Amino acid sequence: MSNPASLTWLAGHELRLGWRDWTSLITAGGRTRTHYAVIAIIIFAIAMHGFAYWIVAGYADTNLSSDPTTLVAITATLVLSWSLLLSQAMESVTRAFYTRADLDLILTSPVSSRKVFAVRMGRIAVAAVAVAVLLAAPFIDVLAVRGGSRWLAAYGVVAAMGAVATAAALGLTIALFRLIGPKRTRLIAQIVAAVIGAAFVIGLQVMAIFSGGTLSRAAALQSEWIRAHAPGPDSLMWWPARAALGDYGALVAIVLFSIALLGGAIALFSGRFGDHAMAAASVGSARVRQRRGSLAFRRRSPQRVLRQKEWTLLLRDPWLISQTLMQILYLLPPAILLWLSFGVHKEEDEYVVLIPVIVMAAGQLAGGLAWLSISGEDAPDLVATAPIPASRIMMAKIEAVIGMIALIFAPIAVVLAFDAVFAGIVAMLGVLAAAAGSTLIQISFRVQARRSQFRKRQTSSRVATFAEAFSSISWAATAAIAANGSWFFIMPAMVALLILWGVRMISPRTQA
Amino acid sequence: MSASRPISLATRSLCKSFDKPAVDNLDLTIYGGEFYCLLGPNGAGKTTTLRMVAGLLRPDAGSIAIDGIDALSHPEDAKQITAWLSDEPMIYDKLTPYEYLEFVAGLWRIDTKTAEARARELIAWLGLEGQAHDRCEGFSKGTRQKVALAGALVHDPKLIILDEPLTGLDAGSARQVKNVLRERVTAGGTVIMTTHILEVAERMADRIGVIANGRLIAEGTLDELRIKTGASGTSLEDTFLALVANEHAQMVAAE
């Protein structure tokens, strides 16, 4: 047993907290649900291995060598994965700064705060590495089984990527903190994390659109331009790819480099972490004065007052906007494709690529907005004691969500309609159906929560999260097939309606 | 005295159970222009009672009438003349107090000119002028509670229901809230309030109700309660503890 307040003792404490957070996340706080969670994890792992087999099995037994095309493809995959890891790590570091939690206890205890924060940074790194390894494991396992044990080296590469992502996230967040101060860092760090998470995918799609007019990500990586401008085969840039291919020398080098980088970052930043966290904790007490043109009360109906309140609260919360930004960002490539194709005669079946992306984004965005409006009501007692029937309150909230979705997506549908009327109408109907579906799911699984718990909404009800995703996918498929002029759109539409019916049946509100 | 006064709140045979009965056949009668304090140990059923009266919980059985309006069959009419304030001020961080009052006035369909004048009056009354156009996100608990109280009063309710409104307030803020409530009662409004601060009940209440295990075990003025316990001249704390201990002893004996 380690001595109290020693590094190992603190690490044990952090690990215990981390484990309990994770199990609570998986079981949604219910102890009795542990065995269901284990069964679900096993099923998920088998499904992921099946998915991985479908994606990478073909590459495993081909004799992949360190030729430029292979190195470019693997490096691009690693950079894509790393950008997502960096995004997640930035999110974790920002959260560690801005969550007061046990900060007072730590800073008033006689233990060196440097030691405590060093361990806490280590916990973020362990979490980042664990997530990376867990997500990569099915692919690596399939490659190792089909192509030999050399592929197991990829585990080391993934772990190193997690460590480097954490070190970079620490550096980036603290640099932001020093450059723009604690008040703006929270928002900017969230936006940077969201943009980093989406940038690579979007970048590739944009390149692909400009080069070939399609959304295929692989097209850009095979281009002549990339081959001509890629560094030589001995470049350090290819070491991670070489390591993943089983070059043990490169593997040892990148693992050592990642450990040194993470250790250096922790040593460098742990001393000031407490000061930054204290500065961040005091941000909440800053006053924001609201200027308004007229101070006179406006005459509005209760429903309009409720809708206006929802929109005002959302527009005044940049953190919430940044949280929903990811879904809007993915609209960028289709928007560019639309812009490129505008005015040029297109067959309507070409919109099959574009419309599902728009419909899917609308469904996901509506889910988030509906949660904020319905579950994230910060004054539920006030609204419930107002002299308005509950059904009208709910209707006003639904109108607020659908209104916001219509405002965002109608211009895209209108531009689309100028080019192809039928495609524009189908896109808008798909958007409205997906938004209505997600809203209905959120109504069925509404809980009382604070808006600040928005990040946790996906873990409060996994059924709602999956139902929302599958409903959006089904409506996206419906719209894509309908835009293609086929009556087969009825099939995914039926699936979407079945999902909604199932949600109503298993909703805690229906059962109560 | 009571016969000449209109009844502001009447509950009859009110029942609500969760795992066990929380409110058990509760009959309450509170008169217009009265300051009524509902006391009881933790888990006695005070908050459940008030939440049912405010329309936040549906009773399992019984009736609730507010100013003669059946609150269960005509909830909107009852809510129009009622205000609810809990111990945890639930306001919107991203709205200013002024905007919050505008929102509440809109929900209660108050004429804009009247609501605006009342909002300005309440803001001044509660000493919120300096913060009226700041977002609520940085406010202390006391200031948030004052904003919530202003929201509860902006539609000029006849019945104000407060659940532990003084919890966590500093002495200055607590006094301001008490003054505002007392002035409402003087102006003819009715206040029903739960509190664990017995000194507040002793000083402010016209009548006190003591509730235990979901039942009203004693009710009256402080002197009437003292007579009931047979200990005149004692503090409300002693009287309250004696009443609760007596109820507990009777329950144990019955079991």
Kindly report, residue by residue over A67-111, the tens digit of the pLDDT. 777 788 788 878 878 887 888 888 888 877 777 667 777 777 777
CB-based contact B103:A309 (threshold 8 Å): yes
Measured from the Cβ of residue A35, the count of other Cβ atoms closer than 10 Å reads 9
Tokens in use for B46? 């005070």
pLDDT for B2 equals 54
Q: Mark yes or no for CB contact B92/A384 under 8 Å.
A: no
From A291, A381, A388, residue closest to B107, measured CB to CB: A388
Q: Which residue did the predictor score with more confidence, A354 or A382?
A: A382
| Chain A contact probe: residue of B107, B110, B114, B133 with most A CBs at under 10 A | B107
In this prediction, residues B215-219 reach a mean pLDDT of: 89
- DSSP assignments along A392-428, one per residue: HHHHHHHHHHHHHHHHHHHHHHHHHHHH-HHHHHHHH
Q: Which residue of A has its CA nearest to B91?
A: A379
Q: Which residue of A has its CA nearest to B100?
A: A309
Mean pLDDT for the stretch of residues A149-163: 90
At A32, is the pLDDT very low, low, confident or very high (cuts 50, 70, 90)? low
Q: Among A381, A393, A397, which would you mutate to test the B interface (most chain B Cβ atoms within 10 Å of its Cβ)? A: A381
* Residue A433: per-residue pLDDT: 95
Query: A424 near A349, Cβ under 8 Å?
Result: no
Rounded to a whole number of angstroms, the distance from the CA of B138 to the nearest CA of chain A is 4
Kindly tell me if the per-residue pLDDT of A271 is higher than 90: no
- pLDDT-derived band of residue A216, with 50, 70 and 90 as boundaries? low
Chain B residue with the nearest C-alpha to that of A377: B92
- Ranked by mean pLDDT, the top range of A11-15, A52-56, A384-388, B172-176 is A384-388
Predicted pLDDT at A30: 59
Query: Which of A250-259, A282-291, B13-22 shows the highest mean pLDDT?
Result: A250-259
Task: Choose from A288, A297, A383 for mutation: most chain B CBs within 10 A.
Answer: A297
**Is the CB of residue A187 less than 8 Å away from at least one CB of chain B?**
no
CB-based contacts of A481, cutoff 8 Å, min separation 6: A352, A488, A489, A491, A492
| C-beta atoms of A385 and B82 within 8 A | yes
Residues of chain A with pLDDT > 70, as a percent, come to 78
- The more confident residue out of A184 and A216 is A184
Dihedral, CA of residue A305, residue A311, residue A316 and residue A320, to nearest 10: 140
Helix axes B171-186, B141-153, angle to 10 degrees: 10
SS3 category, A234: coil
Non-local (6+) Cβ contacts of A467 within 8 A are: A441, A499, A502, A503
Q: Which residues in chain B have their CB less than 8 angstroms from residue A389's CB?
A: 76
Q: How confident is the model at residue A430 (pLDDT cuts 50, 70, 90)?
A: very high
Q: How confident is the model at residue A128 (pLDDT cuts 50, 70, 90)?
A: confident
pLDDT for A157 equals 93
The beta-carbon neighbor of A288 closest among B55, B103, B135 is: B135
Model confidence at A203: pLDDT above 70: no
Give the model's pLDDT for residue A101. Answer: 64
Find out whether A221 and A73 touch, Cβ atoms under 8 Å.
yes
Residue A247: the pLDDT is 86
Q: What is the mean pLDDT of residues A169-190?
A: 82
Which of A201-205, A272-276, A428-432 is modeled with the greatest confidence? A428-432
Average of pLDDT values for B26-40?
93
How many other CB atoms sit within 10 Å of the CB of residue B186? 10
Taking the C-alpha atoms of residue B85 and residue B75, their distance in angstroms, rounded to an integer, is 18
What is the predicted pLDDT for the residue at A386? 92
Query: For B76-90, what is the mean pLDDT?
Result: 90
pLDDT band for position A204 (50/70/90)? low
- Kindly state the percentage of chain B with pLDDT values over 90: 46
Sign of CA dihedral A354, A359, A360, A362: positive
Q: Does A284 touch chain B (CB under 8 A)?
A: yes
pLDDT of residue B249: 78
User: Which residue of chain B is at minimal alpha-carbon distance from A289?
Assistant: B134
pLDDT tens for A475-511 read 988 998 898 888 888 999 999 999 999 888 887 765 5
* Both tokens assigned to B128: 């919120």
pLDDT for residue B169: 76
Concatenating the DSSP letter of every residue in A39-103 gives HHHHHHHHHHHHHHHHHHHHHHSS---S-HHHHHHHHHHHHHHHHHHHHHHHHHHHHHHH--TTH
Q: What is the pLDDT of residue B170?
A: 80
Give contacts of A378 with chain B, Cβ < 8 Å. Answer: 90-93
With CB atoms and an 8 Å threshold, state whether B95 touches A304: no
Least Cα distance to B226 among B202, B249, B196 occurs for B202
Task: Specify the pLDDT at position A331.
Answer: 62
Best mutation target among B102, B129, B143 (most A Cβ atoms within 10 Å) is B102
With bands split at pLDDT 50, 70 and 90, how would you rate the model's confidence at A285? low
Phi, psi angle pair for B73, to nearest 5°: -90, -25
pLDDT tier at A62, thresholds 50, 70, 90: low
Q: How confident is the model at residue A351 (pLDDT cuts 50, 70, 90)?
A: low
Q: Which of A33-47, A167-181, A321-335 has the highest mean pLDDT?
A: A167-181
Q: Tell me whether residues A389 and B92 touch, CB distance under 8 A.
A: no
**For chain B, which residues lie within 8 Å of any Cβ of chain A, measuring from their own Cβ?**
54-56, 75-77, 79-80, 82-84, 86, 90-96, 98-99, 102-109, 112-113, 115-116, 119, 131, 133-135, 137-138, 151
With bands split at pLDDT 50, 70 and 90, how would you rate the model's confidence at B30? Answer: very high
Residue A364 main-chain phi, psi, to 5 deg: -70, -40
- Find the largest Cα–Cα distance for chain A: 75
CB A381 to CB B90 under 8 A? yes
Distance separating alpha carbons of residues A473 and A363, to the nearest angstrom: 8
Least confident among A36-40, A350-354, B15-19: A350-354
DSSP A111: S
CB pairs under 8 A between A and B: 103
Chain A residues in contact with B93 (beta carbon < 8 A): 378
Average pLDDT over chain B reads 88
pTM comes to 0.72
What is the distance in angstroms between the Cα of A459 and the nearest Cα belonging to chain B? 24
- What phi, psi does B81 have (nearest 5°)? -110, 15
Is residue A458 pLDDT above 70, yes or no?
no
Of A231 and A153, more confident: A153
Tokens representing residue A166 in the block: 């954490």
Cβ–Cβ gap B56/A385 under 8 Å? yes
Sheet with B61-66, edge to edge strand ranges: B21-31, B7-17, B61-66, B69-70
Q: For B99, which residue in chain A has the nearest alpha carbon?
A: A297
pLDDT 10s digits, A310-338: 888 888 877 667 666 666 666 666 666 65
ipTM tops 0.85: no
Three-state SS at B204: helix
Interchain contact A297–B (C-beta under 8 A): yes
Q: In this complex, do B112 and A389 lie within 8 Å of one another by their Cβ atoms? A: no
CB atoms inside a 10 Å sphere around CB A132: 25
User: Can you count the helices (H) and strands (E) in chain A?
Assistant: 21, 0
Cross-chain residue pair B115–A297, CB shorter than 8 Å: yes
Spatial separation of the C-alpha atoms in residues A222 and B122, rounded to whole Å: 69
Q: Give the model's pLDDT for residue B81.
A: 94
CB–CB contact A290 B133 (8 Å): yes
